[in-house]
Structure 1
Amino acid sequence: MQRRYKWFVVLFFFAFLTVHEADRFIISAVAPQVKEEFNVTYGQLGLVFSLTVLVAAVLYPVWGYLYDRYSRKILAGLAALIWGFTTIFNALSRTFSQFFATRLATGIDDAAPPGIYSLVADYFEPYDRGKAMGLLNATGPLGAIIGSILALSLVGAGMSWRSAFFITGPIGVVIGILTILLVKDVPRGSSEPELEGLLVEDIYKARLSDLSKLLRIRSLLLLYLQGFWGVFPWNAITFWIITYMEVERGFTPDFVMVVMVLWLVAMTAGNIVAGYLGDRLFRVTKRGRALLGAVVVLFSAILIYLTMNATATEEFLIFGLLTAFEIPMAGPNVVAMITDVTEPELRASATGYLRFFENIGSAVSPALTGFMAEGLSLGAAITIVSASTWLLCFVFFTLLAIVIPKDIDRLRRIIRERADQLKR
């Protein structure tokens, strides 16, 4: 695979996921306008958001299996087309019932990442995948910046909340078409060193009976456990940090926006750095990515405590920036570790299961934090939820560092056996 083309594919999917994440974040920024137009309560609007997440969670394993069975570029392109058209339909809604139905439909396409990560993994050898995954993971915070700025700018200019969706929706349609036209499918497993030059067609495809294998891989079970608990801090912070800064810190909305942009830029950088660092550690030891994950979540617990308990504004900003840079650094290596222990034809399914568990955790965390805040304070609730679950994830990553070498060796043995069969 030509080096220039494989990085083109990564950058193309980087743009794909960035715009998609921007589209997902727009709804948070325009929620007040939506609430006012349809004259609904926070509870009704919150139900829409929660059910949309639930739709995505339920469909993650389904999309994962389809990606492992059929053309990943066609399915990724289809996901983008669904994203584009459902976003346009959502913007065209004239009643709350129409908004409710079309918003739920936007959850159908949220499962593009498992297929994209699986396809990209087949462009890069094991020791180089972290860099690509880091770049793709950086689309989350970057998309949040773009989506929030776009929505707030349009609303601030007196335009309807629909305007933002009329921009991102058609872009999604164009991206879907370009995905099908520009991205090349490659055989599953073609980037594995043992199979280099041996795979001329895509012969390894998932079967439904193969999916149970994923639950017998100890490393994956630990990754799923940390995935469920690891999103608790993210959602506690995402849903409540702006309210915390405005209410308990007394920051103005304009100052909060500046802080959030700085933090999101730091998160973007943290993802990219983590990919390179994970690859380097993986070359040193098979436990490298897991050990990095353990260190990251341990320091995440410490840094969030220091940030939330900072007395001076300057101290809060400095610790907050360090926290924002450090907390996303486990993410790219989690995705890379899935490829390190899973057969190529099951990687999208394995990632789909991870996203399923993450979405379930995402649904629990905001409510838990909110209820705790009623008896404590919002800052204390964010700190307790974040620090305690990151410490729990430290245990999972530590156990992962112990067991993952055997699972890596198992996969390498399977790949060597396949190479021997192809050589005959």
Structure 2
Amino acid sequence: MSSQSSARYLPITKMDNPALSGSSGDVEADSNSVEASLPATCSSQQLMPPNSDTDSVVVQPPTTGITRTQWFTVVVLCFVNLINYMDRFTIAGVLTDIQADFKIGDDDGGLLQTAFVLSYMVCAPLFGYLGDRYSRRWIMAIGVLLWSTTTLLGSFMGGFGGFITFRALVGIGEASYSTIAPTIISDLFIHDLRSKMLALFYFAIPVGSGFGYIVGSETARLANNWRWALRVTPILGIVAVVLIILIKEPERGESEGSPHLEPTSYTEDIKDLVKNHSFMLSTAGFTCVAFVTGALAWWGPKFIYLGIKMQP
């Protein structure tokens, strides 16, 4: 290296080590001379030696495969969700027979679904709280066992008061499952895979509702008694309880890489949800959708039945 080149890079040493310079003014002057002497395409970072430790780090790509355990869990949850909605809309398929048996009008017929929805709505936040703090697998199993048992017992009620009471208890059992099952899928998958599995899970809603209409009405027709329509899903519910117990519950936040979450109070959870404007608007919109589709799903079969009956 020539003497001119050595003189050019000498101020860098002074700039990096101010103690070697005479004063802070000399450092500032030397710094200016360095900036003037460096080429336009040269960066001060290029003068630093490479870090061999960071260069040798190999970032492993995240795994996107689905294990057999995950598939088993998803299939079980989808199956239970299907019979969940199948049980919910079985009564809608035999509503005219129920009204004729109990000698009730449309007001009491609608009250059957109102009792179910109210108990469901009140208990859903409670089960969400319990699901964040206790075993979700056992809460779901107990909930499915509850609605299976109450559905079966309700089919033996001779009075409308007892029947509607058991219908409200069915709402409690179904609330325990519907609020907890999606959180297990969220803890198993991330990103687009999570969306696909949740879409598969919620696809069971229209399929199960349709099965409720068909299986319920056909069972009542074959048995010549609407009560037998309510005794199909409890059998499937017992199978669902066994399958739920067999699934492996993931750690909370496992898919996000943060299984150790800090506990919060119920009041703090509610405050956080209320402050989430996106969540509140989405909930309000879905409430309007559920109001319309719920009424259509409940009264639709009877409306079609009366329409066919009025044909000449």
| TM-score, normalization by structure 2 | 0.71
**Which residue of the partner structure matches residue 116 of structure 1?**
181
> Quick check: 2:119–2:172 contact (8 Å CA) kept in 1?
yes
Listed as ranges, the matches of 1:394-405 within 5 Å are none
> Quick check: 1:68–1:206 contact (8 Å CA) kept in 2?
no
Question: Is 1:166 aligned to 2:231, yes or no?
Answer: yes
Instruction: Return 5+ residue gaps in structure 1 as ranges.
Output: 254-424
Question: Is 1:179 aligned to 2:244, yes or no?
Answer: yes
Taking the aligned partners of 2:301 and 2:217, their CA distance within structure 1 comes to: 15
Taking the aligned partners of 1:119 and 1:78, their CA distance within structure 2 comes to: 16
**Which residue of the partner structure matches residue 288 of structure 2?**
229
Q: 1:169 to 1:144 in 2, by over 3 A?
A: same
Question: Is 1:27 aligned to 2:80, yes or no?
Answer: no
Q: Give the match's secondary structure for 1:171.
A: helix
Instruction: Give a deviation string over 1:164-195, Cα, whole Å, max 9, x none.
Output: 22221132133123212x11121111101xx1
> Quick check: 2:148–2:234 contact (8 Å CA) kept in 1?
yes
Question: Is 1:219 aligned to 2:278, yes or no?
Answer: yes
Out of 152, 157, 164, the residue aligned to residue 222 of structure 2 is: 157
Q: Aligned partner of 1:129: which letter?
A: R
Q: 1:52 to 1:92 in 2, by over 3 A?
A: same
Taking the aligned partners of 1:143 and 1:205, their CA distance within structure 2 comes to: 35
Out of 63, 66, 71, the residue aligned to residue 135 of structure 2 is: 71
Listed as ranges, the matches of 1:262-411 within 5 Å are none
Q: Give the match's secondary structure for 2:94.
A: helix
**After the TM superposition, which parts of structure 1 deviate over 4 Å for at least 4 consecutive aligned residues?**
202-206, 239-247
Out of 19, 35, 39, the residue aligned to residue 103 of structure 2 is: 39
> Quick check: 1:85–1:173 contact (8 Å CA) kept in 2?
no
Out of 192, 196, 202, the residue aligned to residue 131 of structure 1 is: 196
Q: Aligned partner of 2:128: which letter?
A: G
Q: Aligned partner of 2:244: which letter?
A: T
Query: What is the deviation of 1:236?
Result: 5.0
Taking the aligned partners of 1:122 and 1:42, their CA distance within structure 2 comes to: 43
Taking the aligned partners of 2:305 and 2:162, their CA distance within structure 1 comes to: 33
Query: What is the deviation of 1:239?
Result: 4.4
> Quick check: 2:92–2:301 contact (8 Å CA) kept in 1?
no
> Quick check: 1:83–1:106 contact (8 Å CA) kept in 2?
yes
| TM-score, normalization by structure 1 | 0.53
**Which residue of the partner structure matches residue 146 of structure 1?**
211
* Bigger fraction of residues in helix: 1
> Quick check: 1:64–1:115 contact (8 Å CA) kept in 2?
yes
Larger radius of gyration: 2
Q: Aligned partner of 1:115: which letter?
A: I
Identity between Structure 1 and Structure 2 (%): 26
> Quick check: 2:154–2:163 contact (8 Å CA) kept in 1?
yes
**Which residue of the partner structure matches residue 395 of structure 1?**
none
Taking the aligned partners of 2:155 and 2:300, their CA distance within structure 1 comes to: 28
Q: Give the match's secondary structure for 2:188.
A: coil
Q: Aligned partner of 2:168: which letter?
A: L
Q: Aligned partner of 1:33: which letter?
A: D
How many equivalent pairs are there? 243
Taking the aligned partners of 1:245 and 1:148, their CA distance within structure 2 comes to: 12
Taking the aligned partners of 2:101 and 2:289, their CA distance within structure 1 comes to: 36
Instruction: Return 5+ residue gaps in structure 2 as ranges.
Output: 1-64
Q: 1:165 to 1:205 in 2, by over 3 A?
A: farther
Q: CA RMSD in A?
A: 2.2
Q: Give the match's secondary structure for 1:106.
A: helix
Instruction: Give a deviation string over 1:301-333, Cα, whole Å, max 9, x none.
Output: xxxxxxxxxxxxxxxxxxxxxxxxxxxxxxxxx
